Structure 1
């Protein structure tokens, strides 16, 4: 499975962001399962999920301080890349 994500280091914290469908971030149980499934790709890192609404506005799910930080970062400033989950 291919997916879009990014590894970011900010203020001494290295974390991962993964783009998912909106219904995943809207369902806490599902979001936590998805975060766990990505842990082998981003070992030891906090993982933040990001989904966009129909207007392209992002919503973040994950560690509160990181999600709040990311809500202030323009999406075009994130260095997105394609990953493969085996």
Structure 2
């Protein structure tokens, strides 16, 4: 196998593994949610916990991987963020 074909194979396998891990994550979250709701946890509390845990897990990746990719926060970008926040 050439190096180019190995790279293409790696990229295909990487995507498939990402999808499989995502499905395991969804299944695990469904099981945990069902268990917590059956034990009497409020739906609203569960949603807050899910968002807090997702933020804690994803935020470090965003900070490290996108450190040099973020544009400066101009007034135009800030206004768009505020408008999107109000509309959602």
**TM-score bracket, shorter-length normalisation:** under 0.3
- Whichever structure has more helix as a proportion of its residues is 2
- Whichever structure has more strand as a proportion of its residues is 1
TM normalised by structure 1 equals 0.24
Higher RCO structure, 1 or 2 (CA under 8 Å, sep 6+): 1
Structure of greater Rg: 2
